[in-house]
């Protein structure tokens, strides 16, 4: 039976898997029974097979929830998604934590697994849609490049600080320069590989060119953004994109006494937020439509950072729109009220 046709079948059991680097703490509750069966497995290929076999003993379709914990959860999510009779949901950790706080008194792997199983049973279950292999590889590659770029900046800062002191010997300065240059070469090589990977996939190549058509997005930012966005489900809405990025605003108002400053949730993908920062900064300076929006918000007493976050959120809306419609970016459509037509 396919995953789609299984959606109409009542689940026989509800499970949760708490993922760590080395272990998987699992809890499962069968329909119509009280209590949970619990077991721990290694977070390895053999452990994934053992977990799947253990879940299948429930004798029917099993709904499994686990948290998105980067590379630690990805392989087990892929293994569960491939298994017949198992449906998997990959959840935002902060959302799960809020849910779990209503259930548990202690914080252990076993308690977290039970909370995830309860989530599978009580909450609306949205099955995870696995990205294609090329998109997963591009995401891993783009994140590695971003990490190396941060390392390159740190080595540059160390070199600058060392050069400012007369006590730093020449051999130290030379070593710092060599280390920084070596990272720069690695970044260049990996960036070429990322561009080659994009060029081999027609859909990725089209979206890559669309991204570069937005002022403020060059090749580096386009690779980073595409790595984070290309693997998202095509069924997601733009509001879900914004929530996924953690750029959705959080309002804290209660009665007449509590009126805290609006902030972003930060509950989503921090890699995507970082990838949007430089394009938003450049766009706010050089794109007339983004700049007008940025300045309008400041005239309404928003701080520079709040205005820049709003530009990043608008930019994400623009990317969603051009991906969905296949059209080119047009700032006048995104900010029609700000720049009068010529």
List, for residues 6-28, the tens digit of each pLDDT value: 443 468 899 999 998 899 999 99
**Residue 12 and residue 118 in one domain:** yes
Residue ending a domain, among 67, 90, 122, is 122
Averaged pLDDT, 147-174 = 96
Q: For residue 37, is it within any domain?
A: yes
**Residue 244 and residue 328 in one domain:** yes
**Residue 139: per-residue pLDDT:** 93
Q: For residue 328, is it within any domain?
A: yes
Express each pLDDT in 282-318 by its tens digit.
Answer: 999 999 999 999 999 999 988 999 999 999 999 999 9
Greater model confidence, 236 or 229: 229
The encoded tokens of residue 15 equal 């499970």
Query: 296: domain range?
Result: 238-334
**Domain count within the chain:** 3
**Residue 2: per-residue pLDDT:** 41
Crossing angle of helices 93-100/109-122, nearest 10°?
90
Residue ending a domain, among 74, 95, 122, is 122
**Residue 118 and residue 138 in one domain:** no
**Residue 150 and residue 116 in one domain:** no
Which residues neighbour 245 within 8 Å (Cβ) at sequence distance 6 or greater? Answer: 268, 269, 272, 273, 276, 313, 316
**Residue 118 and residue 56 in one domain:** yes
Q: For residue 128, is it within any domain?
A: no
Reply yes or no on whether the pLDDT at 264 is more than 60.
no
**Residue 272 and residue 247 in one domain:** yes
Confidence class of residue 105 from pLDDT cuts 50, 70 and 90? low
Neighbours of 67 (CB within 10 A): 23
pTM of the full structure: 0.77
Report the alpha-carbon distance of residue 254 to residue 25 in Å, rounded: 39
Which residues neighbour 146 within 8 Å (Cβ) at sequence distance 6 or greater? Answer: 224, 271, 274, 275
**Residue 206: per-residue pLDDT:** 96
Q: For residue 210, is it within any domain?
A: no
**Residue 170: per-residue pLDDT:** 96
Q: For residue 230, is it within any domain?
A: no
Report the alpha-carbon distance of residue 16 to residue 13 in Å, rounded: 10
Instruction: Answer for the pair 14, 63: CB distance below 8 angstroms, yes or no.
Output: yes
Residue ending a domain, among 153, 185, 200, is 200
**Residue 341: per-residue pLDDT:** 56
The encoded tokens of residue 45 equal 């290929």
Confidence class of residue 1 from pLDDT cuts 50, 70 and 90? very low
**Residue 118 and residue 147 in one domain:** no
**Residue 137 and residue 44 in one domain:** no
CATH number at residue 77: 3.30.420.40
Sign of CA dihedral 197, 200, 206, 209: positive
Reply yes or no on whether the pLDDT at 130 is more than 80.
yes
Q: For residue 222, is it within any domain?
A: no
Instruction: Answer for the pair 65, 56: CB distance below 8 angstroms, yes or no.
Output: no
Express each pLDDT in 265-279 by its tens digit.
Answer: 556 788 999 999 999
**Residue 296 and residue 193 in one domain:** no
**Residue 118 and residue 161 in one domain:** no
């Amino acid at each position: 039976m396919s995953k789609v046709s299984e959606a109409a079948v009542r689940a026989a059991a509800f499970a949760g898997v708490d993922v760590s680097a080395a272990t998987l703490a699992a809890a499962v509750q069968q329909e119509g029974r009280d209590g949970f069966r619990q077991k721990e497995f290694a977070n390895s290929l053999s452990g994934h097979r053992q977990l799947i076999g253990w879940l299948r003993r429930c004798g029917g379709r099993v709904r499994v929830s686990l948290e998105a914990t980067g590379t630690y959860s990805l392989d087990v999510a892929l293994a569960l998604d491939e298994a017949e009779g198992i449906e998997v949901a990959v959840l935002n950790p902060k959302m799960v934590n809020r849910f779990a706080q209503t259930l548990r008194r202690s914080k252990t792997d076993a308690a977290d697994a039970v909370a995830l199983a309860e989530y599978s049973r009580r909450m609306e279950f949205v099955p995870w849609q696995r990205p294609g292999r090329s998109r997963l590889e591009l995401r891993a590659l783009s994140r590695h490049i971003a990490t190396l770029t941060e390392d390159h900046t740190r080595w540059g800062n160390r070199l600058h600080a060392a050069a400012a002191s007369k006590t730093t010997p020449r051999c130290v300065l030379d070593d710092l320069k060599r280390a920084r240059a070596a990272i720069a070469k690695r970044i260049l090589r990996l960036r070429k590989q990322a561009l080659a990977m994009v060029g081999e996939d027609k859909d990725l190549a089209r979206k890559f060119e669309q991204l570069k058509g937005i002022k403020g997005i060059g090749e580096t930012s386009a690779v980073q953004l595409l790595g984070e966005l290309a693997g998202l489900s095509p069924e997601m809405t733009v509001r879900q994109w914004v929530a996924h990025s953690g750029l959705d605003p959080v309002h804290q108002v209660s009665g007449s006494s509590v009126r805290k400053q609006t902030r972003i949730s930060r509950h989503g993908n921090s890699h995507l937020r970082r990838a949007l920062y430089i394009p938003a900064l450049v766009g706010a300076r050089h794109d007339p439509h983004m700049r007008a929006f940025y300045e309008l918000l400041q005239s309404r007493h928003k701080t520079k950072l709040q205005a820049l976050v709003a530009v990043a959120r608008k930019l994400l809306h623009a990317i969603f729109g051009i991906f969905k419609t296949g059209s080119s970016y047009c700032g006048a459509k995104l900010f029609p009220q700000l720049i009068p037509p010529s």
